[in-house]
C-alpha cells in the first residue's frame, strides 16, 4: 500500500514563514501534511509533479463577503482558483444573530441579491446549512457588533441602556461559543457613536481568545478620528485589533496613508497588538447606500427606498454636508460605477459611472443617482474609483499588513460586473506586485497570505507547510501566475495556479475544478461542544 495519499514532488517550497524557498517534497495523508523532505513519487497513491513550480500553503482571505455566495454555489470557484483555501466572512453584516427586523432585512436583501432563502438565525444553524451541501473552501466567521446592537436596540442610533448592554454581551458570548472568531465591525464616518459599548463587547471576545476586526469608518477626511476610537477600544479592552482594507479615500487625501501607518506603528510601539489587511486595487465596492448621510444608512431598507421619490427627502439629503463628503470620498460622480442592475430598463448602464449615465439620460448626477435607486428598488451595488496606486504600494510594504480581498466566492454566472478583486486578488499580488513591480519578495508575498493571517486568527494548524498541519496547498507557476479580471471584464479566472488542495483533497487539478467540496468550518477559540 502507498505510504501517502498524495505526494507533491520536485517543487520549490515557500513554506509561509517568509524564509527563502527550498527544494522538498510533501507527503499528504488523511487530510494533513505527514512529511516534508525527500519523498519518492511512488510513495503516494497520487503523485503531483511540481517541477518548475512553487508550492505554498493555501491562502487565507482575511476579509470576505462569501457567506451567501458559498450557500448559492459551494464550489467557490473565484476563490479556490486563486489558491484561497479559507475565507473569513462577516463584517458590517454577519450570518448571525438574526432576529426581528434584522432577520427580515437580511432575508429581503439576500433573497434578491443571491437567490438564497436564509433559513437560519444562529451561527450553528448557518454552519450546519453550509455543510449540508458542502463547500470547496474552508469558512470561518466573525460576529458584527452593530448587528448585535440592532437586534437588541433596533435601527435607531442611540446609546444602549445597561440592561441592553448586558443582552448585547450575552449575544456576543453565544456567538463565540458557537464558533465565531471575534468581533468584525464596519463603522460609518467618525467610527462608532458609542465606543464604550464596543469596548464592553470586545472584553467579552477577549475572554474567549478572539480579536476585533474593524473597518474603521469613512477612511477619508475623518480617518484620524476613526483611528483614535479604534485605538481607544484597543487600550481599554486590550484585545488584538485587525484593521480591514487599510487605505485612504478621496484624491485630496492621497499620500496621507503614511500618517495612518505611522500612528498605527506608534500604537504597536506602546504594546498594542495591531495588524491590518489590504486589497491590491485602487477601487472599492459596496452599495450606493454608503453615499448617503448616516441617518439614511441607519434606516431599514424597506422603509428607505420609497423615499427617494420624495422631493423633501431629496432636499434633506442634498442639504446634509455628509452627502457631499461621502460622494467625494467615493471618487465623485466620475468615479462611482453601477456594478449591478437587475431592472431590465437599467441593465445597459452596468459598468458606467453616474456621470456617464447622467449625460446619457440628460440629467444632473444627483437626480440620476436618486432616480436609479428608486427605479432599481434597492441600493445599487457600486464600484468606486477613489484611491492612489502609490498608497496601495505604501501599505503593501508594511510587514504587519496581510492580504484580504473584501470580495466573495463567485462563479462566471454571477450577475453584473462585480469588483475584479473577487476573481484576482491573490494572483494579482503574486504577479503584478511581486514578479513585475517587485514591491514584495515572493516569500514575503506568500507570508502575507498564509502565516500572517493565521497568526492574527490564532490558527495553530493552518498557514504553514509543516508536518501535522492541514494540507491546504497551492502549486503555482511563478513566471505565469497573473490575475485576468479587469473592471471592464471582471468575471475571468486567473492563470498560473495549477493545483489547489483543501484539507488534503485536490480541488483544482491541472487548472480544472474537480467538483470536490472538502471544506470545513474553522471555529474560533471559544467554540464549545453541544
Quote the DSSP letter at residue 298. Answer: T
Q: Any idea what the Cα angle at residue 520 is, between residues 73 and 178, rounded to 5°?
A: 105
Of 191, 192, 214, 204, the residue nearest 165 (C-alpha) = 204
Beta bridge partners of 499: 475, 509
Over the Cα atoms of the chain, what is R_g? 23
CA distances, 139 to each of 102, 127, 194, 265, 413 (Å): 23, 9, 30, 30, 22
Instruction: State the angle between helix axes of 195-207 and 223-237 in degrees (0 to 180), rounded to the nearest 10.
Output: 40
Number of Cα atoms under 13 Å in the Cβ half of residue 199? 14
- Dist. CA 412–CA 392, nearest whole Å: 27
Dig out the grid coordinates for 101 from the structure. 427586523
Number of Cα atoms under 13 Å in the Cβ half of residue 102? 24
Cα torsion for 212, 213, 216, 217, to the nearest 10°?
A: -120
- The answer to whether 444 touches 56, Cβ cutoff 8 Å, is no
Residue 530, pLDDT score: 67
**Which residues of the chain fall below pLDDT 50?**
none
Residue 415 exposed, middle or buried by CB count within 10 Å (0-12, 13-18, 19+): middle
DSSP 476-498: E-TTT-B----SSS-----BSEE
293 three-state secondary structure: coil
Q: Any idea what the Cα angle at residue 427 is, between residues 423 and 428, rounded to 5°?
A: 85
- Dist. CA 172–CA 204, nearest whole Å: 7
Q: How many CB atoms lie within 10 A of CB 61?
A: 31
Chain center to CA of 363? 35
- The answer to whether 171 touches 119, Cβ cutoff 8 Å, is no
- Dist. CA 267–CA 242, nearest whole Å: 13
Residue 301, pLDDT score: 86
Residue 524, pLDDT score: 97
- Dist. CA 205–CA 402, nearest whole Å: 22
pLDDT in tens, 319-372: 999 999 999 999 999 999 999 999 999 999 999 999 999 999 999 999 999 999
Beta bridge partners of 236: none
Quote the DSSP letter at residue 143. Answer: B
- Dist. CA 159–CA 2, nearest whole Å: 63
Dig out the grid coordinates for 486 from the structure. 479587469
Residue 315, pLDDT score: 98
Chain center to CA of 234? 21
Dihedral of CA 205/268/91/301: which sign? positive
CB neighbour list of residue 482: distance below 8 Å, 6 or more residues apart: 427, 428, 430, 431, 432, 494, 495, 496
- Dist. CA 61–CA 340, nearest whole Å: 24
Dig out the grid coordinates for 523 from the structure. 471555529
- The answer to whether 55 touches 12, Cβ cutoff 8 Å, is yes
- Dist. CA 109–CA 111, nearest whole Å: 6
List the domain boundaries for the chain.
Answer: 286-385
Amino acid at each position: 500500500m502507498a505510504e501517502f495519499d498524495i505526494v507533491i514532488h520536485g517543487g520549490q517550497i515557500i513554506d509561509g514563514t517568509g524564509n527563502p524557498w527550498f527544494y522538498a517534497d510533501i507527503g499528504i495523508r488523511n487530510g494533513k501534511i505527514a512529511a516534508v523532505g525527500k519523498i519518492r513519487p511512488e510513495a503516494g497513491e497520487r503523485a503531483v509533479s511540481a517541477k518548475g513550480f512553487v508550492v505554498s500553503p493555501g491562502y487565507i482571505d482575511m476579509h470576505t463577503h462569501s457567506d451567501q455566495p458559498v450557500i448559492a454555489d459551494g464550489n467557490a470557484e473565484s476563490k479556490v482558483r486563486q489558491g484561497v483555501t479559507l475565507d473569513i466572512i462577516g463584517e458590517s453584516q454577519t450570518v448571525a444573530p438574526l432576529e426581528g427586523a434584522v432577520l427580515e432585512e437580511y432575508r429581503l436583501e439576500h433573497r434578491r441579491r443571491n437567490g438564497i432563502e436564509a433559513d437560519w438565525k444562529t451561527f450553528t444553524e448557518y454552519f450546519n446549512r453550509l455543510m449540508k451541501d458542502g463547500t470547496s473552501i474552508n469558512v470561518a466567521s466573525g460576529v458584527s457588533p452593530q448587528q448585535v446592537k440592532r437586534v437588541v436596540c433596533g435601527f435607531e442610533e442611540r446609546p444602549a441602556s445597561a440592561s441592553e448592554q448586558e443582552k448585547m454581551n450575552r449575544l456576543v458570548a453565544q456567538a463565540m461559543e458557537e464558533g465565531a472568531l471575534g468581533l468584525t465591525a464596519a463603522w460609518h464616518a467618525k467610527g462608532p457613536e458609542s465606543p464604550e459599548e464596543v469596548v464592553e463587547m470586545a472584553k467579552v471576545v477577549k475572554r474567549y481568545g478572539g480579536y476585533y476586526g474593524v473597518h474603521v469608518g469613512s477612511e477619508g477626511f475623518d480617518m484620524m478620528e476613526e483611528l483614535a476610537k479604534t485605538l481607544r477600544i484597543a487600550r481599554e479592552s486590550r484585545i488584538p485589533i485587525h484593521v480591514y482594507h487599510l487605505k485612504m479615500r478621496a484624491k485630496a487625501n492621497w499620500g496621507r496613508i503614511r500618517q495612518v501607518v505611522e500612528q498605527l506603528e506608534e500604537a504597536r510601539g506602546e504594546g498594542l497588538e495591531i495588524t491590518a489587511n489590504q486589497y491590491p486595487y485602487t477601487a472599492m465596492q459596496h452599495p450606493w447606500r454608503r453615499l448617503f448621510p448616516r441617518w439614511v444608512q441607519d434606516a431599514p431598507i424597506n422603509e428607505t427606498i420609497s423615499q427617494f421619490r420624495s422631493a423633501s427627502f431629496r432636499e434633506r439629503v442634498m442639504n446634509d454636508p455628509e452627502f457631499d463628503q461621502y460622494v467625494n470620498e467615493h471618487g465623485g460622480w466620475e468615479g462611482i460605477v453601477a456594478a449591478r442592475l437587475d431592472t431590465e430598463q437599467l441593465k445597459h448602464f452596468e459598468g458606467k459611472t453616474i456621470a456617464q449615465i447622467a449625460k446619457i439620460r440628460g440629467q444632473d448626477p444627483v437626480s440620476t443617482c436618486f432616480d436609479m435607486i428608486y427605479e432599481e428598488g434597492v441600493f445599487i451595488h457600486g464600484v468606486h474609483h477613489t484611491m492612489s496606486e502609490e498608497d496601495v504600494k505604501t501599505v503593501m510594504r508594511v510587514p504587519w499588513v496581510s492580504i484580504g480581498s473584501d470580495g466573495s466566492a463567485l462563479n462566471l454566472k454571477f450577475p453584473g460586473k462585480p469588483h475584479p478583486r473577487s476573481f484576482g486578488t491573490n494572483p494579482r499580488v503574486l504577479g503584478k506586485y511581486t514578479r513585475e513591480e517587485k514591491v514584495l519578495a515572493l516569500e514575503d508575498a506568500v507570508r502575507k497570505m498564509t502565516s500572517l493571517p493565521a497568526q492574527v486568527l490564532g490558527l495553530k494548524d493552518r498557514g504553514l507547510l509543516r508536518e501535522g498541519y492541514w494540507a491546504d496547498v497551492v502549486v503555482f507557476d511563478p513566471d505565469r501566475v497573473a490575475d485576468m479580471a479587469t473592471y471592464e471584464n471582471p468575471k475571468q479566472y486567473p492563470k498560473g495556479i495549477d493545483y489547489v488542495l483543501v484539507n488534503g483533497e485536490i480541488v483544482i487539478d491541472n487548472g480544472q475544478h474537480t467538483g470536490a467540496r472538502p471544506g470545513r468550518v474553522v471555529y474560533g477559540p471559544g467554540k464549545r461542544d453541544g
